[in-house]
C-alpha cells in the first residue's frame, strides 16, 4: 500500500513538472516551438514584393587576413523576411576573432577546411593537451605548478558542413587549410531570441573589427538605422577597472582592448599555426564522449551543432538524371528546433528542371554555390516577380508561398537554402507528390475546363517527384537561345 501511494505521488509530481509553464523540461526541450515575432504584422508595409533580384554583397570589410561581405539589409526582400546574410572569406592562417551576435545563425561552408570554437557559458573545459604539449607555467600564481592547456570543444569544419549557433554564444573560426575558407552565414534578426532591433550587432571579444581597409565600420539603412554594428566590447571600459577585474596589469588590458591590433580588423593572420587541441574527425566519431556529464551538460554543453549536407549518400530525394535534395531540420539536428531554422542543399544536374514548388511555412533564402541556371518566381497575383539567370555567389530571397521553378544550365546548378522554420516544408505542383495529383479528376476537369483525358494527363504524366528532364524540343530551343546570346 505504501509503495502504491509513493508511486502515485511520484507520478503526480512528474506530471506537474512537465505541465508547468516554467519547468526546466519545457525550457530546454529541443523540439519546443519558440514564439516567433509576427513577420507579416511587423513588416506589413515592407512586403510589397513586386520585383525580386538575384544579388551579390554590397558592403565590404577588408581585414588583415580576410574579407567580410554583407548583403544590403535595405533591400525589400530582407526588410520583409527579417534576415541578414554575410559571407566571410578567411585566408590560410586567418583567425576570425572571438565574437557573438544578437541573433541565432546558421552558416554553410562553401569552400575549404578549418576549426571552429563555440564556447557555452558554464560548460566544462573538456579538451586538454597531453603531457609535453601546449603547457604553460603559472609561477607567481601557483608557485612552480605546471598545467596544460584546457578549453571547450573545438570542432573540425569541412566543405558542405552546416553549423547552427544560438544568439549570444561566443565563437571563433580558424583556417588551418591551404586554400581560402569561405562561409555564408544567415542571421535571423527577426527571431524571438533577438530582443533588440533588427540591426545585426556583432560583439567582438578582441581586435578592432570596426576598422576596415575598404570602408567604415558602420553602414546605414533608410531612416538612419545601421545595417550592422560591431566593435571590441572591452574597448570602452576603464583600464584600471578591467585590470582589477582580471587581476592583470594595465599593459595586458591594453592588449585586451585591441590597442595592438590597429588596422588589422576582425580577421587577423596568425604568425605560426594555431596550436589547439582538436581530435581528427575520424577519431572524434570513433571514440565519442570521453567524460562523465551531468544533466545540464547532456542537454546543452554536448549539443550537436552541425551536419554535412553535401554528401550524396545523405540525400533525402535523389534522381539519377535530375538531381538531389538534402534536408537538415530539427528532426536531424535538434538545435535547429530551438533556433527555429533549417537548411536545404540542392543539386540540379545538367539541363534538369526542378518541379514548380513553394515554401509552405517559411521564407527560403537561396545562395547559389556552383553553376548557372534560369529561375522564375511568381507571387499570389500570378505575376512574375523574378525571371532571370542565377550564378555562383548570388543570393535570391523567395518569400513564403511564392512559387519558384528552376532549370540548370550546361554546368548544372547547386544552391543552399536557409529557411525561417525549424522544419520547413515544400509543396510541389508537378510530379508524383504534387498538389494537382492529389485532386479528384472532376475537380481538375472543372477547374481548368479540360477533358478527363487531359486532366489525367496533367495528374499522371510525370512519375518523378521533384526533378525532371526537359523535352528534346525544349533543349534545342534553349541551345539556340544560348548561342544567340553568346553571339
**What residue ranges do the domains of the chain occupy?**
39-301, 310-486
State which CATH number among 3.40.50.2300, 2.40.50.140, 3.10.129.10, 2.60.120.10 fits the domain covering 310-486: 2.60.120.10
Domain 39-301 is of which CATH architecture? Sandwich (2.60)
Can you tell me the distance from the alpha carbon of 463 to that of 430, in angstroms, rounded to the nearest whole number? 9
CA distance 212 to 145: 43
> Alpha-carbon distance 301 to 295, whole Å?
10
* Cα–Cα distance for residue pair 163/52, rounded to 1 Å: 28
C-alpha cell at 72: 544590403
Q: Are 146 and 138 in contact (CB under 8 A)?
A: yes
At residue 398's C-alpha, the angle toward residues 364 and 425, to 5°, is 40
Per-residue pLDDT tens listing for the chain (487 residues): 455 555 454 454 444 444 433 333 333 333 344 445 454 444 444 577 889 999 999 999 999 999 999 999 888 899 889 999 999 999 999 999 999 999 999 999 999 999 999 998 878 676 666 544 444 444 444 443 445 767 678 899 999 999 999 999 999 999 999 999 999 999 999 999 999 888 999 999 999 887 665 444 445 444 445 678 899 999 999 999 999 999 999 999 999 898 877 788 999 999 888 877 666 644 444 444 444 444 444 456 778 899 999 999 999 999 999 999 999 999 999 999 999 999 999 999 999 999 999 999 999 999 999 999 999 999 999 999 999 999 999 999 999 999 999 999 999 999 999 999 999 999 999 989 899 999 999 999 999 999 999 999 999 988 889 999 987 656 555 554 455 545 5
Q: What is the pTM of this model?
A: 0.83
User: Which residues contact residue 147 at a Cβ distance below 8 angstroms, ignoring those fewer than 6 apart?
Assistant: 135, 136, 138
The span from the CA of 277 to the CA of 118, in Å, is 14
Dihedral sign for Cα 296, 164, 157, 313, please.
positive
Q: Give the β-pairing of 181-187 and 105-111.
A: antiparallel
3-state secondary structure (DSSP) of residue 106? strand
Amino acid at each position: 500500500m505504501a509503495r502504491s501511494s509513493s508511486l502515485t505521488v511520484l507520478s503526480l509530481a512528474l506530471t506537474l513538472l512537465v505541465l508547468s509553464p516554467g519547468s526546466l523540461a519545457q525550457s530546454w526541450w529541443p523540439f519546443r516551438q519558440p514564439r516567433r515575432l509576427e513577420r507579416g504584422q511587423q513588416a506589413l508595409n515592407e512586403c510589397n514584393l513586386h520585383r525580386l533580384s538575384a544579388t551579390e554583397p554590397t558592403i565590404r570589410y577588408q581585414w588583415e587576413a580576410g574579407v567580410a561581405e554583407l548583403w544590403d539589409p535595405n533591400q525589400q526582400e530582407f526588410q520583409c523576411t527579417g534576415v541578414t546574410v554575410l559571407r566571410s572569406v578567411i585566408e590560410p592562417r586567418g583567425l576570425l576573432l572571438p565574437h557573438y551576435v544578437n541573433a541565432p545563425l546558421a552558416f554553410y561552408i562553401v569552400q575549404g577546411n578549418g576549426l571552429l570554437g563555440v564556447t557555452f557559458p558554464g560548460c566544462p573545459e573538456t579538451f586538454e593537451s597531453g603531457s609535453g604539449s601546449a603547457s604553460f607555467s603559472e609561477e607567481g600564481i601557483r608557485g612552480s605548478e605546471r598545467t596544460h592547456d584546457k578549453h571547450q570543444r573545438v570542432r573540425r569544419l569541412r566543405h558542405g558542413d552546416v553549423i547552427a549557433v544560438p544568439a549570444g554564444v561566443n565563437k571563433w573560426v580558424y583556417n588551418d587549410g591551404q586554400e581560402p575558407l569561405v562561409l555564408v552565414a544567415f542571421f535571423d534578426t527577426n527571431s524571438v531570441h533577438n530582443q533588440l532591433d533588427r540591426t545585426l550587432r556583432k560583439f567582438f571579444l578582441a581586435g578592432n573589427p570596426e576598422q576596415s581597409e575598404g570602408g567604415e565600420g558602420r553602414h546605414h539603412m533608410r531612416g538612419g538605422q545601421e545595417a550592422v554594428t560591431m566593435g571590441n566590447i572591452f574597448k570602452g571600459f576603464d583600464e584600471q577597472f578591467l585590470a582589477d577585474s582580471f587581476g592583470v596589469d594595465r599593459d595586458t588590458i591594453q592588449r585586451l582592448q585591441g590597442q595592438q591590433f590597429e588596422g588589422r580588423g576582425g580577421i587577423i593572420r596568425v604568425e605560426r599555426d594555431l596550436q589547439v587541441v582538436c581530435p581528427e574527425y575520424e577519431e572524434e566519431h570513433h571514440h565519442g564522449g570521453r567524460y562523465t556529464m551531468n544533466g545540464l551538460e547532456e542537454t546543452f554543453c554536448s549539443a550537436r551543432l552541425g551536419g554535412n549536407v553535401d554528401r550524396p549518400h545523405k540525400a533525402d530525394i535523389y534522381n539519377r538524371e535530375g538531381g538531389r535534395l538534402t534536408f537538415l531540420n530539427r528532426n536531424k539536428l535538434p538545435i535547429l528546433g530551438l533556433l527555429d531554422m533549417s537548411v536545404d542543399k540542392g543539386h540540379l544536374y545538367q539541363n534538369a528542371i526542378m518541379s514548380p514548388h513553394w515554401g509552405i511555412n517559411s521564407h527560403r533564402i537561396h545562395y547559389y554555390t556552383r553553376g548557372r541556371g534560369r529561375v522564375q518566381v511568381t507571387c499570389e497575383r500570378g505575376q512574375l516577380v523574378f525571371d532571370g539567370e542565377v550564378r555562383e555567389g548570388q543570393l535570391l530571397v523567395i518569400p513564403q508561398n511564392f512559387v519558384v521553378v528552376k532549370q540548370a544550365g550546361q554546368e548544372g546548378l547547386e544552391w543552399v537554402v536557409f529557411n525561417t522554420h525549424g522544419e520547413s516544408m515544400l509543396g510541389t505542383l508537378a510530379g508524383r507528390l504534387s498538389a494537382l495529383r492529389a485532386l479528384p479528376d472532376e475537380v481538375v476537369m472543372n477547374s481548368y475546363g479540360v477533358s478527363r483525358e487531359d486532366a489525367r494527363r496533367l495528374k499522371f504524366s510525370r512519375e518523378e517527384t521533384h526533378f525532371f528532364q526537359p523535352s528534346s524540343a525544349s533543349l534545342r530551343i534553349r541551345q539556340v537561345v544560348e548561342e544567340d546570346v553568346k553571339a
